[in-house]
Structure 1
């Protein structure tokens, strides 16, 4: 039972991280561009 709970927590954390990354990407932020894609002239996509 403990394994199921820990697995669910891990899946939830990963889902939140992915959601945050997608939200940042839509807002024009990206880690490859120093968190600001407006200044990379589209080269980081």
Structure 2
């Protein structure tokens, strides 16, 4: 039973890590797009 619980926790941790990385990448992407738009707006 304990081994089964450990396997579930390991999978949950892996899923949480992947989700965190995807979320972090999305935040960086939005930030980069925002900076690009601000710089494009300053050129006018």
Shorter-chain TM-score bucket reads: 0.5 to 0.7
Task: Count residues in correspondence.
Answer: 31
Runs ≥4 in structure 1, deviation > 4 angstroms? Answer: none
Q: How much is the aligned-residue C-alpha RMSD, in angstroms?
A: 1.8
TM-score with structure 1 setting the length: 0.62
Relative to its length, the structure with more helix (as a share) is 2
Unaligned runs of 5+ in 1: 30-36, 39-45
> 1:14 & 1:3 partners in 2: Cα distance?
16
Q: Tell me which of the two structures has the higher relative contact order, counting C-alpha pairs closer than 8 angstroms and 6 or more residues apart.
A: 1
Name the larger-Rg structure: 2
Unaligned runs of 5+ residues in structure 2 are 1-9
